[in-house]
Amino acid sequence: MAHPPDAKPPVWRRPDGAPVSCVEKIKVLNDNYRELAQLAQDAFEDALLMECDEAQVKQALHELVDSLHDPYPNRK
């Protein structure tokens, strides 16, 4: 399957807006981002091959991301 076209990770930031500076943390975050991008692309392509509507699949993926919650509410 194709590689996601926009899989370049963002500059990771802390809640105060400062960039994350730990090289190991950035490496983990970037690896996770690229893995998720590839998995989302694969799922998207599978859905299209199974004749799903492109807009509906993208909306479902957006809703999935929007449903994520912070399991560490007291860390701030």
> Any idea where the domains of the chain sit in the sequence?
23-62
Asked if residue 9 lies in contact with residue 29, where contact means CB atoms within 8 angstroms, the answer is: yes
DSSP state of 71: S
Helices (H), 3-68: 23-49, 54-66
Greater confidence, 10 or 5? Answer: 10
Alpha carbon dihedral 57, 60, 66, 69, in 10-degree steps, equals -120
pLDDT band for position 49 (cuts 50, 70, 90): very high
Asked if residue 31 lies in contact with residue 23, where contact means CB atoms within 8 angstroms, the answer is: no
Q: What pTM was estimated for this model as a whole?
A: 0.83
